[in-house]
Amino acid sequence: MAFEYIKALHIIFIVTWFAGLFYIVRLFIYQAEAWEKPEFERKILIPQLNLMASRLWYIITWPSAILTLIFGFWTLSYRWGYMQLGFMHAKLAFVFVLYIYHFYCHKLFKDLQSGTSKWTSTKLRIWNEIATVLLFAIVFIIVLKSLLSAVWGIVGLLLLSILMMIGIKFYKKIREKNES
């Protein structure tokens, strides 16, 4: 019975971690765009966005990342035989990449808090898609227990991402046209 509770907590903290990762990059986009606003708007937007990002990052995202790791290893300790299977190695490799993504988000967070980031809102929108790709890969692998099935899922997601990027560029052109 303990295994089910530990696994449930692992899943809950995965969800809150991804929610934090998705929203923090959205806040990064707003922060980058705030620097392009007139001075009177910047004075209001930047402190508020910095406060929101700080609370999200330190109160939700970081604790969720740590608790995901703790409960993940605890869950794995009940299913140690999975470590003999290739799908688990692939899943853990994607999770490792996700932590690298998280650490790089921390760097972006620090840069934006100090006003030194050189990332544009468009680059940050693309950056945000990496977490989506990793989420798809990890879920497909762990549910289907097959790396090949995950590859097909990721290929589909990448095609969808390309279509989304085309849509974003199209939307940006329309927005810029309407602003001028």
* Strand locations in the chain (E): none
Name the phi and psi angles at 175, rounded to 5: -65, -45
Q: Take residue 68 and report the two structure tokens written for it.
A: 């995901």
Whole-number Å distance between alpha carbons of 119 and 68: 29
Query: Does the annotation list 106 as a binding residue?
Result: no
Whole-number Å distance between alpha carbons of 65 and 61: 6
Query: Does the annotation list 89 as a binding residue?
Result: no
Residue 140 and residue 149 in contact, taking contact as beta carbons nearer than 8 Å:
yes
Q: Take residue 159 and report the two structure tokens written for it.
A: 């095609």
Closest to 123 (Cα-Cα) out of 74, 53, 172: 172
Whole-number Å distance between alpha carbons of 20 and 176: 29
Residues belonging to the binding site for heme are 10, 91
